[in-house]
Structure 1
């Protein structure tokens, strides 16, 4: 395979000569940051810890978990990598079944949704790029959902989540 001679990398952001000791390690047995009857979320790399470069979360959904209905983001892409079990993923056109090792990339503005329709739990990695402060969204969305549609819509928009149901009732 040949490669072009004029590869373009991003501009340097580190300008030192020797490198730094600045890596962070999260052991696999770290408890989840959020737990509920429907699943759990592990904050692997947050907007804060990556300086806004990306956000990476391990999400575990219980059997028959609703996940997220059809929505899009205006400021970030979202990617899904299935670690175990099965996950129904909406790619903007149709539902596809994701299994261990399957990957779905959703560019900025791309319609997407996900749900676990099986009787078994599943786990996945979710990557947001660039990073965004998603932790408040994950921690509060269930409670805000109980309070009413207008407050929920405002909460979702504050977190760059534009759900089809908020703007065009009846579309999925």
Structure 2
């Protein structure tokens, strides 16, 4: 049997004695922060609001949404939790079908991708840890994808997103 003294918690970061009133509440009916023809994104907890601890986003993908091609991150993990519908998830080895309640955690450096191949919308939570300023990425990725080329590659690298299609042999 384990006892509390056997657990290794991170060092304390709050050193007060009475606690603070500092919680943030976001009502469910808050409009999305980004809307496009194929998706909406809700900024539930950003790098700024969590002090860099994590970023949590609710993403709703329309039917037949291409999602993101195979990539990895060097500085953060990414996790997916399916709220509704189905989502194809690439776990670095093969495509798996994620359904309501399914979860995929991708450690730092792990190859992954996602897409909605169904005729129905899907909704998921995306968690990045530690938190990174992902908002600019979400807000500008469609524009940058249209520009393409080296400008798109630089944008992706600036946002810790290394897409296999951008890497030359030996760069990964």
Shorter-chain TM-score: what band?
over 0.9
Structure-to-structure mapping, 1:72-83, within 5 angstroms: 72-83=72-83
Superposed displacement of residue 16, structure 1: 0.1
Task: Give 1:149 shift.
Answer: 1.6
CA RMSD of aligned residues (A): 1.0
Which residue matches 2:161? 161
- Aligned partners of 2:100 and 2:168: how far apart in 1? 33
**Mapping for residues 75-94 of structure 1, pairs under 5 Å:** 75-94=75-94
What's the secondary structure of 2:147's corresponding residue? coil
Task: Quote the residue 1:42 is aligned against.
Answer: 42
Between the aligned partners of 2:168 and 2:124, the Cα distance in structure 1 is 29
Q: State the partner residue of 2:31.
A: 31
Number of residue pairs matched? 168
TM-score for the superposition, normalised by structure 2: 0.96
Structure 2 unaligned residues grouped into runs of 5+: none
Alpha-carbon deviations, 1:98-143, whole Å to 9, x = none?
A: 0000000000000000000000000000000000000000000000
CA-CA distance at 1:94 after TM superposition: 0.1
Structure 1: runs of 5 or more not aligned: none
2:132 maps to: 132
TM-score where L is the length of structure 1: 0.96
Q: Quote the offset at 1:168 in angstroms.
A: 4.5
Within the alignment, does 1:116 sit opposite 2:116 as a pair? yes
